[in-house]
């Protein structure tokens, strides 16, 4: 089956040398892509340029992305009405940098533009703008796809994490979601509209996913 897997963090530039990103290494998505390719599936891996995980196997086709807008463009480029399986495991940042300001002595904000902001500019205020939500757009781009999203949470209880994961299923019109993170605890939870399965580690998750593709 044709599979599209995403892996790693998005990066949003503050200036020409600094960026806003997160701690994702791309390990989970890259290992999943390798596993699916080893099972005989045709895999396209959309992998962050800053992912630090070991690279994908030669059997995996790889395209690179940086910002959330670039990742969305990758999805748009490969959009198809044909059946595919999408595993959106990338850690897409919620924010990008907008305007940068310096507060003047009279309290007004002066907008700055620089290839590299300097400490000589004093205390700066950076505007955070929401990045495009990619998962909710995938159903329109891939109407016959089997779409799996990820829900990584650091706050709340396990029950609250699962509640948010189920809400994602409904709002994003996806078919499955993988819940994990500090709030969930060890392992992963695979959720669909009708089933729930706890998996102890990433190896078990990868095998579970590949088994679902054969059903």
Residue 207 lies in a domain: yes
Residues 44, 66 share a domain: yes
Average pLDDT over residues 23-40: 97
Residues 51, 8 share a domain: yes
Residues 46, 28 share a domain: yes
Q: Is the pLDDT of residue 202 over 80?
A: yes
Average pLDDT over residues 46-72: 96
Cβ atoms of residues 99 and 43 within 8 Å: no
Residues 115, 18 share a domain: no
Q: What is the pTM of this model?
A: 0.95
**Residue 54: which domain range?**
2-93+132-150+199-213
What pLDDT, on the 0 to 100 scale, is given for residue 64?
98
**21 pairs with which residues across the strands?**
none
Residue 52 lies in a domain: yes
Alpha-carbon gap, residue 14 to 130, rounded angstroms:
14
Residue 159 lies in a domain: no
Taking only the tens place, the pLDDT of each residue in 120-167 is 888 899 999 999 999 999 999 999 999 999 999 999 999 999 999 999
Q: Is the pLDDT of residue 53 over 80?
A: yes
Average pLDDT over residues 112-120: 92
Residues 83, 51 share a domain: yes
How many CB atoms neighbour CB 163 within 10 A?
Answer: 13
Residues 110, 67 share a domain: no
How many CB atoms neighbour CB 65 within 10 A?
Answer: 25
Residues 7, 55 share a domain: yes
Residue 114 lies in a domain: yes
215 band by pLDDT with thresholds 50, 70 and 90: low
Residues 107, 88 share a domain: no
What pLDDT, on the 0 to 100 scale, is given for residue 157?
97
SS in 3 state form for 109-165? Answer: EEEECCCCCCHHHCCEEEEEEECCCCHHHHHHHCCCCEEEEEEECCCCCHHHHHHHH
Residues 142, 72 share a domain: yes
Residues 7, 36 share a domain: yes
**81 pairs with which residues across the strands?**
none
| Domain total in the chain | 2
For residue 139, the domain's CATH number is 3.40.50.10300
Residue 194 lies in a domain: no
Residues 138, 36 share a domain: yes
Residues 113, 45 share a domain: no
Residue 185 lies in a domain: no
């Amino acid at each position: 089956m044709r599979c599209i897997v995403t892996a790693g963090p998005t990066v949003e530039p503050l200036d020409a040398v600094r960026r806003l990103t997160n701690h994702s290494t791309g390990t989970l998505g890259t290992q999943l892509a390798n596993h699916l390719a080893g099972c005989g599936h045709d895999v396209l891996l959309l992998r962050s340029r800053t992912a630090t995980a070991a690279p994908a196997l030669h059997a995996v086709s790889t395209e690179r992305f940086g910002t959330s807008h670039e990742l969305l463009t990758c999805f748009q480029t490969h959009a198809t009405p044909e059946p595919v399986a999408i595993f959106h495991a990338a850690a897409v940042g919620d924010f990008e940098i907008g305007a940068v300001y310096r507060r003047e002595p009279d309290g007004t904000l002066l907008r700055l533009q620089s290839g590299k902001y300097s400490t000589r500019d004093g205390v700066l205020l950076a505007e955070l703008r929401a990045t495009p939500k990619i998962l909710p757009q995938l159903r329109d781009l891939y109407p016959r796809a089997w779409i799996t999203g990820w829900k990584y949470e650091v706050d709340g209880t396990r029950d609250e994490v699962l509640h948010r994961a189920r809400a994602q299923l409904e709002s994003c019109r996806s078919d499955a979601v993988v819940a994990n993170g500090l709030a969930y605890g060890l392992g992963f939870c695979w959720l669909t509209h009708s089933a729930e399965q706890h998996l102890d580690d990433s190896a078990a998750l990868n095998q579970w996913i590949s088994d679902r593709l054969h059903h």
